[in-house]
Amino acid sequence: MTKDTRILAPSLLQSGEGSVHKIPQKGRRTIGVVLPSSNRTVERVAHAFLQSRPGVDVCVARVPYGGHPASGYDLESFRCAAALLRDARPDVVLWNATRGALLGFDPDRTLCAMLEDMLGVPATTTSLATLETLKTAGSRRIGLIAQGDRNECDKLIDAFGKEGITVVDSSALGISDNFEAAAVTSDELEEVAFRISRDSTPDCIIVWSTNLGGYSLSMGQTRLHIPILDSATIGFTAAFSFLDGQKTGADA
């Protein structure tokens, strides 16, 4: 007996001998995500979100981690990523990375305007979503766990301060290789967060890199009694809010 080795199209699912059923696509929503090329964490966070949202797809495109001008982004790489995502017809697009805060947030607003113009759908970023999250919650005194060195952390403190958010305590992990940030364990992050919460009692603590694994801590899996916000999680929460009709644009 010859084995059936037919390869089914992605829109088909084999069910029983020689029969197929179409996977229904009508009504499915899609989040388009742009990531830095070295990120190893965001897709795991997406998978966790999708466990409770079976009607949503997440489609990912990447841009180089390096090579951006000091004051902004290499927009051509984002145009290429957006062109690829356009083929998947996303309902919202998310730049799930934290560089925008280091730049002072305005470059993220410019980036969103470009993505919205190209794709015709709302766009947001992790940095802009974080500002909205903090202000909506009334969290004006925060603790910050930053991936980079002290100089980079101080720039973040200044950028948040100009947006009315005071960083009352911070920890710079000193990781310059973005790829290596994904190797930091949640237990290690919790220890840093515990020290910040003990010494300065902020309203919340932010794990500031979408390649740091703060998702489980943001879900309350911690001994701390204040919220820990994970940057990758904030980005996806904002994107799902767009899908659910609670937002209409990057600064909504």
Q: What is the pLDDT of residues 160-189, one digit of tens each?
A: 999 999 999 999 999 998 899 999 999 999
pLDDT at 220 (0 to 100)? 82
Cα–Cα distance measured from residue 94 to residue 33, given in angstroms and rounded to the nearest whole number: 5
| 10 has pLDDT over 50 | no
SS3 label, residue 87: coil
Q: Is residue 18 pLDDT above 50, yes or no?
A: no
CB-count burial class (<10 Å; 0-12, 13-18, 19+) for 156: buried
Are 32 and 46 in contact by the 8 Å Cβ rule? The answer is no
Q: Where are the alpha helices (DSSP H) in 169-221?
A: 178-181, 186-200, 215-218
N-to-C CA span, the chain: 61
Burial class (CB within 10 angstroms; exposed 0-12, middle 13-18, buried 19+) of 43 = middle
Alpha helices of 5-97 — where are they, by DSSP H? 42-50, 75-86
Portion of the chain with pLDDT greater than 70, in percent: 87
Residue 56 has phi, psi (to 5 degrees) of -120, 140
Q: pTM for this one?
A: 0.85
Mean pLDDT of 95-105: 96
| Interval 38-97: pLDDT, tens | 999 999 999 999 999 999 999 999 999 988 988 899 999 999 999 999 999 999 999 999
Domains of the chain: 29-128+234-243 (3.40.50.12500), 137-231 (3.40.50.12500)
DSSP 66-130: S---TTS--HHHHHHHHHHHHTT--SEEEE--SHHHHTTSHHHHHHHHHHHHHHSS-EEEHHHHH
With a cut of 70, say whether residue 26 has pLDDT above it: no
Count of other CB atoms within 10 angstroms of residue 22? 9
Whole-number pLDDT of residue 17 = 37
Mean of per-residue pLDDT scores for the chain: 88
Please give the pLDDT value at position 206: 98
In the predicted model, what is the mean pLDDT of residues 208-231? 91
The owner of tokens 């495109």 is: 61
Share of the chain above pLDDT 90, in %: 79
Contact status, residue 160 vs residue 170, Cβ threshold 8 Å: no
Asked if 79 and 19 touch (Cβ cutoff 8 Å), the reply is no
pLDDT reading at 240 higher than 60: yes
Residue that has been written with the tokens 């003990």 in this structure: 198
Strands 56-63, 29-36: pairing kind:
parallel
* Model confidence at 2: pLDDT above 80: no
Average pLDDT for 119-146: 97
Quote the CA–CA distance of 66 and 84 in Å, as a whole number.
20
Q: Which residue has the tokens 């992605």?
A: 10
Phi-psi domain of 66 (left: phi exceeds 0; alpha: psi -120 through 50; beta: other): beta
Q: Does residue 195 carry a pLDDT above 90?
A: yes
pLDDT for residue 140: 96
